Amino acid sequence: MVHDFAESLGLALDARDENTHDHSRQVAETALLLVKGLGLDRSRAELIHVAGHLHDIGKMGLPDSILKKQGALNDEEWRIMKTHPVIGARIVAPIKVFQGKNSIQAIILHHHERYDGKGYPCGIRGDKVPLGARVIAVAEALSAMIQNRPYRQGMTFEDAAIEIFNNTGKQLCPIVVNAFARNMEKIHDYYAPKNMT
């Protein structure tokens, strides 16, 4: 039931922002394939899967002028955009089962942290970033690169994979990228045209 509700909220967010059609579901499904590759137990895998659906829920608190802008954001708009992980963590805060150190709330808050510490909102690095957030970072990067956006054409899966490998140890966690490499065929199959609805 929690998963279904999370998926529904993710779909609601995707419906609000036509620029990122189906992004939440893509991130959630890719994250699930990654956690299976990491060998995590079922409950931990399900937690990260749910967080994948909800990772951008904070964008509901952003103005349409930013969320639906048909071009690159200026500095002030980008500053506002970068608040969405904090907003998202606040949105899910009342749900007790979403709280805790490696929780859905923590994953939402930290999904834009970088492995090298140059991310946001906290600038934490390496293993200080919750594993679930590191998984979502790889899944989100893949979805974002493959999708067409008003200001750029989406990449092929192969080109996006090269970017993921090139950012290992910088933006992305090496352990999660290794899981991506081991499961590339399954992830590629998910992104095949029949699944890109």
Q: What is the pLDDT along the chain (197 residues), one digit of tens a residue?
A: 577 667 766 667 666 666 566 889 999 999 999 998 999 999 999 999 999 999 999 999 999 899 888 888 899 999 999 999 999 999 999 888 888 888 999 999 999 999 999 999 999 999 999 999 999 999 999 999 998 776 778 899 999 999 999 999 999 999 999 999 999 999 999 988 655 54
In single-letter form, the type of residue at position 58 comes to G
Q: Are 71 and 151 in contact (CB under 8 A)?
A: yes
Of 39, 131, 86, 156, nearest to 172 by C-alpha is 131
The helix/strand/coil state of 188 is helix
Give the chain's domains with CATH numbers: 2-195 (1.10.3210.10)
Q: Judging by beta carbons within 10 Å of its beta carbon (0-12, 13-18, 19+), is residue 6 exposed, middle or buried?
A: buried
In DSSP terms, which residues pair with 149 in a beta bridge? 152
